Amino acid sequence: MSLDRRDFLKIGGAMACGTALTTAVPIVSAMTEANETRADAGNQWAMVVDINKCPPDCTACYDACRKENNVPHFAEPALDIHWIRKVTFKQKGVPGAEERNMPVMCFHCEHPPCAHVCPVAATFKRKDGIVLVDKHRCIGCRYCMSACPYKARSFVSKHVEHEPGQNPDVPLRMHGVVEKCELCVHRVDKGLEPACVEACKAQGGGMAFGNLNDPQSEVSKIVRSGKATRLRADLGTNPRVFYVGI
């Protein structure tokens, strides 16, 4: 049998297609499972912190977060990892102004600069507005850390070991990736509130969590009332964490 060049190419092409199909079919069928997503664009999660209700030395949110998310504690202050920072401040130019404190975490910005700069799309915004780092993909370049105006991110500079007492629902993070507040996405997907909000509420504090798209939710009402402010609203990042009483 003799083939001219055209027939040879046709047969070759058909064979290549066949091979590609047989490889692709099992993978595609794995993808078409009935999947129910919890990242529903109808929910836009947000948080409000009324810092008038933050007692001077309260660390309830901070402690709850460290415990829930297995946030490691590194002794060197420059390397330590923070998902929540307790920031103290004083009103400028007001004589005798008292020192106050507030929790600062990732604000899950509507326009997150961290996600824009990530060269490998490891940082991304979920449909429900939660900004996450896909630690499987993060290459540890730390661009996001410089891009974030709120100092919300930390670099994992050391190996962290599994230990008894850690929360098995939240995986540890490897040496060499960047991590930050995830708005307790594992809890939110189960219909719970973030651990900090739960701990804060339990001791009468002023944190609230809810859906901005639901006009009846507590956060929507506070935001509508005009009492809530965003930090550095001039930057246009549109944080989803609001403060009352700044």
Partner 1 sequence: MLAVAVFLAVFSLPFVYNTFNVGIGGAGSVAPKLVHKKGECVRDADWMRRNHMQLLVHTREDAVREGVRVTDHGIKGCRTCHPNRAEFCDQCHGYVGVKPECWDCHYYPSKPEKTA
Specify the amino acid at residue 191.
Answer: G
String of contacts with partner 1 for each residue 108-147, x by CB under 8 A: ----------------x-xxx---x-xxx-----------
CA–CA dist 57, 37 (Å, integer) = 39
Q: Which of 220, 232, 183, 230 is nearest to 244 (CA)?
A: 230
- Closer of 140 and 221 to ligand SF4 (Cβ): 140
CB of 81 to partner 1, least distance (A): 14
The item of partner 1, ligand SF4, none sharing an interface with residue 185, based on CB under 5 to 8 Å by kind, is partner 1
Binding marks (x or -) toward partner 1, 166..195, rule CB under 8 A? xxx--xxxx----------x---x------
Determine how β-strand 178-179 pairs with β-strand 154-155. antiparallel
Best CA proximity match to 197, nearest among 86, 103, 101, 72? 103
Written as six digits, the tokens of 225 are 């009332």
* Residue 203 or 229 with smaller CB distance to ligand SF4: 229
CA dihedral (97, 102, 104, 108) positive or negative: negative
Q: Which residues bind ligand SF4 (CB under 6 A)?
A: 106-109, 112-114, 117-118, 120, 122-123, 131, 133, 138-144, 148, 150, 152-153, 178, 180, 237
Residues in 23-52 at the binding interface with partner 1, rule: CB under 8 A: 26-27, 30-31, 33, 35-40
Nearer to ligand SF4, 90 or 175 (CB): 175
Question: Is the CB of 133 or the CB of 208 nearer to partner 1?
Answer: 133
Q: What's the token pair of residue 246?
A: 């700044």
Nearer to partner 1, 95 or 165 (CB): 165
Cβ(151)–Cβ(85) below 8 Å: yes
At closest approach, how far in Å is the CB of 159 from ligand SF4? 17
C-beta separation of 58 from 206 below 8 A: no
Smallest separation (angstroms) from partner 1 to the CB of 134: 5
> How many Å apart are CA 232 and CA 229, to the nearest integer?
9
